[in-house]
Amino acid sequence: MLPSLSVSRSALGGSPDPRVRPLGWPAVAYSTSVRLSSWAGVAIVLLLFGIGAWRRRWISDDGLIVLRTVRNLLAGNGPVFNAGERVEANTSTAWTYLMYVGSWLGGPVRMEYVALTFALALSLAGVALLMFGATRLYAPGLQGRRALLLPAGALVYIAVPPARDFATSGLESGLVLAYLGLLWWMLVCWSQALRMPRSRARGTRFTAALAFVAGCSVLVRPELALIGGGVLIMLLIAARDWRPRALILVAGGALPVAYQIFRMGYYALLVPGTALAKDAAGDKWSQGMIYLANFNAPYALWVPAVLLTALGAALWVGAAVRYRPRRPVPRGVGTWARLVQSPGAVVCFFVLSGVLQGAYWIRQGGDFMHGRVLLAPLFCLLAPVAVIPVQLPDGARFHREAGYPLSGAVGLLWLAVAGWALWAANSPGMGYDATRVTYSGIVDERRFYSQATGHAHPLTAADYLGYPRMRAVLTTIAATPDGALLLPSGNYDQWDVVPVILPPPPGIGVPEHPDDGGPHTVFFTNLGMLGMNTGLDVRLLDQIGLANPIAAHTERLEHGRIGHDKDLFRDWVVADGPWAKWYPLIPGYLDQDWIAQAEAALRCPDTAAVLGSVRAPMGPRRFLSNVLHSASYTRYRIDRVPRDELIRCGLAVPEPTRPPYTGMPPDVP
């Protein structure tokens, strides 16, 4: 981003080249070729990225989960997935409330289209800011020189098919790109400000703004606290006295600390509900390496890694990235401050942040969506070479003897990167296994839902009615006006029904007035499409724990599918509601004794306290109690086998209604 600002001759140290135009922020003279090539590169990359993302447009089931929470917010039920049960079903707080504001302003516009627009716009903005930040990085080394700025790392990013898939998925991926791009651009400006007296980035306002943006990292995605916290530490080191340090702490910490207190009091957890459901504190290194290989193999990502590393080395040799200050560092700036507030430190920090984020996700085991969680680490790693300068030898500052070979080498490396990008952009990705859940548990989520729904671009909740069981769930709810628990059957066109006990006792999901109809609960994995195709009076639960507080507090299965590695037995759902709990009113695959044991296990004092923290009416006493107990509630786990849970809790096991299974025929003594 290169706005104009006049620069005096004395500031440039002599008569300016008539071909050179001034750069505004920071004030650096740059040539017309730099200016035009920079804007042209950004325009071309955004055009290619926008077209590619639009051709692969879709809204994922997980994206629809966010919209269910937004519907509850608009209806006055609070930031919850099911009314009356305070569960934080979304990872990105900022994305949830951004969608809330957008949907409120959009009025009659479908939420899915609001999500699509925001996701695509933010994705494009993130790539643009990444390129502007790299342009800022190289601008001081290009003052008074003829050069071209060519997109390199930006081309690599948009060439990877998952990057275009998740530009419009309805998830927070676009917000993450915009956030990282903004943080990168601001950091580069801040790093150059110390040696540029005229730079606006030297002011207190800019420092406070940068601290605020860094502090918001945890609200964009929890793992981004690694990079946001690092930026705040750099700002504190560079600050000269206690006043700017206090400002940095207040600007960077006020909002995230306030929301953390709200989370502890409202949801009774230290972390988002999704982190509890997916057990973010655990590790699955072997699965993470499988995920990394699954991301690398279809696109040979090691090729651009080698090429861009060579490009970085060539740029260093050519001194394009060496910052040559026009003025000395002001007095009173310590050694550590000079070291931290420098372009080199910012580049190292951003690259290291990408490595740490990648390592975090590999430790976690990755994800079940092909490439999704490694896009942000890749974005950070590509930031310093998002664009690269190709200097044109002029015989003065850049000698022709060394300049031509160096410029030629940079040009050839860039052509190789562009060639790889063209190949990768047309890669078939995961190939024939893209929509099949294999041993790795990883699928191409966009292609999976396109195939399952019969829509090339599933965008709205109505498009997901083509998914197995979706139309049947609406028919079954309409056919059970007194209420029922719906369990998925082996037949995609019908649901197993557990009738409600009449009259139903008061509880979660039970209407206050009998005229409103009976309570309905649906137990199924795909919460997004269910949540957007059913009313807010229908309670939706899953076995993974995204919207089910009982499942969320179970232990993670060691060999479960990544992202789905908690699996609550259906008996718990029957035990936890106003449903019939005996044969022949329950399906034959349920165990009547297990239901009785689960019902008894739910009376465990510690379990009852955890469930009460999210189900009891909210008030000042409840809020304070939740804050005080949020740490213990976050650590609390139950055994998903009801009998084992009773033993763990020290409760008596109910007498079985059937003789125990011995493996022998019933008539054998």
382 and 481 housed in the same domain:
no
- pLDDT of the residue at 450: 94
Q: Is residue 348 part of a domain?
A: yes
pLDDT exceeds 70 at position 21: no
380 and 241 housed in the same domain:
yes
Whole domain around residue 174: which residue ranges?
Answer: 32-323+334-393
Q: Is residue 555 part of a domain?
A: no
384 and 475 housed in the same domain:
no
Cis before 428 (ω within 30): no
Q: What is the pLDDT of residues 367-398, one digit of tens each?
A: 999 999 999 999 999 999 999 988 776 655 55
Last residue of a domain, one of 372, 393, 414: 393
* 66-80, 208-222, 310-324, 576-590: segment of lowest average pLDDT: 310-324
Band of the pLDDT at 320, cuts 50, 70, 90? very low
181 and 51 housed in the same domain:
yes
State mean pLDDT over 338-363: 93
Retrieve residue 40's tokens.
């042209």
State mean pLDDT over 110-116: 97
User: Could you tell me the pTM of the whole model?
Assistant: 0.91
255 and 351 housed in the same domain:
yes
Q: Is residue 579 part of a domain?
A: yes
The more confident residue out of 553 and 438 is 553
- pLDDT of the residue at 3: 38
pLDDT exceeds 70 at position 517: no
Q: Is residue 532 part of a domain?
A: no
- pLDDT of the residue at 339: 87
Cis before 584 (ω within 30): yes
Handedness of CA 80, 581, 533, 469 (dihedral sign): positive
What single letter denotes the amino acid at residue 263? Answer: R
Alpha-carbon separation of residue 448 from 66, 120, 174, 468, 524 (angstroms) = 20, 21, 21, 13, 18
The two beta strands, 520-523 and 484-488, are parallel
Band of the pLDDT at 228, cuts 50, 70, 90? very high
**Helix (H) or strand (E) run with residue 21 in it:** strand 20-22
CB 585 within 8 A of CB 498: yes
Q: Is residue 190 part of a domain?
A: yes
- pLDDT of the residue at 403: 62
Q: Is residue 187 part of a domain?
A: yes
75 and 171 housed in the same domain:
yes
State mean pLDDT over 500-522: 73
346 and 474 housed in the same domain:
no
221 and 349 housed in the same domain:
yes
193 and 70 housed in the same domain:
yes
In which residue are the tokens 């260093």 written?
316
Residues 74, 66: Cα–Cα separation, whole Å: 13
381 and 491 housed in the same domain:
no
Q: Which residues contact 244 (CB under 8 A, 6 or more apart)?
A: 204, 207
Residues 110, 460: Cα–Cα separation, whole Å: 8
Q: Is residue 3 part of a domain?
A: no
Last residue of a domain, one of 374, 393, 412: 393
Retrieve residue 441's tokens.
């548990």
∠ CA(643), CA(645), CA(651), 5° rounding?
A: 80
- pLDDT of the residue at 9: 33
378 and 484 housed in the same domain:
no
CB hemisphere CA count around 147 (13 angstroms): 29
Q: What is the pLDDT of residues 234-258, one digit of tens each?
A: 999 998 888 999 999 999 999 999 9
388 and 475 housed in the same domain:
no
Structural domain count of the chain: 2
CB count within 10 Å of CB 341 equals 23
Q: Is residue 542 part of a domain?
A: no
Q: Which residues contact 572 (CB under 8 A, 6 or more apart)?
A: 550, 551, 598, 602, 640, 642
Nearest to 340 by CA among 332, 348, 352: 348
Burial tier of 77 (Cβ tally within 10 Å: 0-12, 13-18, 19+):
middle
- SS3 of 243, please? helix
pLDDT exceeds 90 at position 27: no
Band of the pLDDT at 315, cuts 50, 70, 90? confident
